[in-house]
Amino acid sequence: MQIIVNTDDKIEGNDAMLDSIRAQVDDALSRFADQITRAEVHLSDENGAKGGGEDNRCLLEVRPSGQQPVAVTHQAASPQEACDGALQKMVNKLQSTFGRQTNAKGGHSIRDLDPI
C-alpha cells in the first residue's frame, strides 16, 4: 500500500510530522493492506493565519483494489487530531464496506433445513 501525505502552504509539514502521519495511516489501515492500493492524506488549514477553533482539515482518500475511491474528512484543532479523526472514520467505513462484500445478508435459509 502506497501512502502519500500532502499539505497546503499554510501547514508546516516537516519530515517528522509527515513520517508520523504515514506510520499512523499504515498502522490503522494495515489490516486492509491487501485490499488497498493507495492512501492519500490531504492536510489543510481552512482559516490560515486568522486562527480559530477547529480549522485544520484532513481529507483521507483510500483506493481499494478494483473499486471506486473512498474518502472521509475530519476537522479539528490540530493537523494530528484531524488525521486521527479521519482515520477512525475511514476504518469504520472500510469495515462496513469490506464486511458487506464478504458476508451474505442474513443467515441460512429455512429452505436449507431438513423437513420434520
Complete DSSP assignment for 8-71? -TTS---HHHHHHHHHHHHHHTGGGGGGEEEEEEEEEESSGGG--SS-EEEEEEEEETTS--EE
| pLDDT (0 to 100) of residue 49 | 63
- Helices 15-28 and 79-102: angle between axes, nearest 10 degrees: 20
| pLDDT (0 to 100) of residue 9 | 84
| pLDDT (0 to 100) of residue 8 | 86
| Sequential pLDDT tens for the chain (116 residues) | 899 999 888 887 788 888 999 999 999 999 998 999 999 999 998 776 666 667 889 999 999 988 899 999 999 988 899 999 999 999 999 988 887 665 555 555 566 666 66
| pLDDT (0 to 100) of residue 46 | 79
Q: Which domains are present in the chain?
A: 2-101 (3.30.160.100)
Amino acid 18 reads: L
The upper half-sphere exposure of residue 21, i.e. CA atoms within 13 Å in the direction of its Cβ, equals: 29
